[in-house]
Homo-oligomer: A and B are copies of this chain.
């Protein structure tokens, strides 16, 4: 029999097809008809010539589709008799979705502890007063682009490279960390990551298994909490002494595998452990056999004196996993960070990086390396230190003028943010500020357990003079 396939509606068959090449439309139209049984096994398709003229398309297009359908086993061409539907649709209608029960079981709930939001409005993510945002208007984009142009034609940068990271970048990072952060490391100890977040995730992957324990300063950085929260792993809060990790609250004995902390600039409260406290912390780690995750996220931006050296470099073979990121020192969308670990841990971390993400983008690494090698990075940091110091002073003036007594301004030496502390419903304040177009976070969001302290964490690095004035006014207007 001849097929009763209505030919004239093929173009309009399915809105999803429109705008696609004729060949694709015809392919989808015919294969779909065969799949849903509108065309039955044995049905004869019109000759390519006839179909082409009916659809007023080129015959070669029809022939190509017939070839394709035959190659896939939809149809069969029989010389001298025609082209026939060959596929027997599955006996019972496909029920392609796994049964509810199994489908549920196939979908474990995503991490629940401080479960982070998955969606974030791009505008929301970049508002004035949003913590952690550098001033992208102050980034030397012209220099950056020039370095990019110098390397963009190197075809070797299109290929595969080291999982650990582009060697010149690891060298540049090691040199920078040795000279500016007092870190004791060689390029061989540096692992390039997709921001500090991947570095923290890899640490959790290597060190943490069900039944393990992690000590974490509280309040503290949420990204670390997310990365170290694993099924069966206990997160144990270590409270602060006002604005720094309270060393007296560290357990004398512990089975904890890791301690996460920000010794050189507590996040978010901004305190700094002095040298005797730093040595005490290292001594505690050695005594209890705990590895310290030192998150050195923005120490470049201390205003008073030179940035204080990392604890990783205070002694040889410190039991420290040093984590850093270019998100604040260069720009967030670069998505480059680094991990510095003892030589005998490098191989394991590099393997895990290979398994979970593979190499890092090569041209990006090469440009970043050149930016550091040629001194632009050091210059940029110096400039930003002054730039942010100016914003910080302006913010403090505004706070004194507008908020005197209303809030306690914490973190005098903060680099890119400061905390306004006060008892109350800080999430309501944060929401009100969002309504007003500002992005501060509630201090209670940084708490591991029931929040003890409330307030607003205010990022000022990306706020203009006007925005700082308006933002503080908005805070003053809070109920």
Contacts and interface: CB of A to CB of B under 8 A. Distances in A.
Contacts of A465: none
A315 B90 CA distance: 12
Contacts of A87: 275-276
Interface residues of A, number: 134
A283 B362 CA distance: 42
Interface string A83-103: 000011110001111110111
Nearest to A161: B122
B126 A155 contact: no
A98 B319 contact: yes
Interface stretch (A17-25, A49-57, A239-247, A429-437): A17-25
Given A194-B358, A315-B35, A357-B194, A159 B136 contact: yes
Given A71-B308, A153-B141, A197-B358, A351 B115 contact: yes
Interface stretch (A201-209, A403-411, A446-454): A201-209
B110 A306 contact: no
Nearest to A89: B279
A390 to B, nearest CB: 20
Contacts of A89: 279
A155 B136 contact: yes
B160 A96 contact: no
A155 B137 contact: yes
A158 interface: yes
A155 B155 CA distance: 27
A139 interface: yes
Interface in A175-212: 178-180, 182, 184, 194-195, 197-198, 201, 206-207, 209-210
Interface string A315-338: 111110000000000011111000
A359 B332 CA distance: 9
A343 interface: no
B24 A179 contact: yes
B305 A68 contact: yes
Contacts of A96: 282-283, 285-286, 315-319
Nearest to A91: B283
A131 to B, nearest CB: 11
B95 A286 contact: yes
Given A110-B348, A210-B210, 12 more contacts: A16-B184, A27-B306, A64-B306, A90-B280, A90-B283, A94-B279, A98-B285, A98-B289, A106-B291, A148-B152, A332-B359, A335-B357
20 contacts: A16-B178, A20-B179, A23-B306, A27-B306, A71-B305, A94-B279, A94-B283, A96-B319, A102-B290, A108-B207, A110-B352, A118-B164, A118-B346, A125-B161, A145-B152, A159-B332, A194-B357, A197-B354, A201-B357, A209-B231
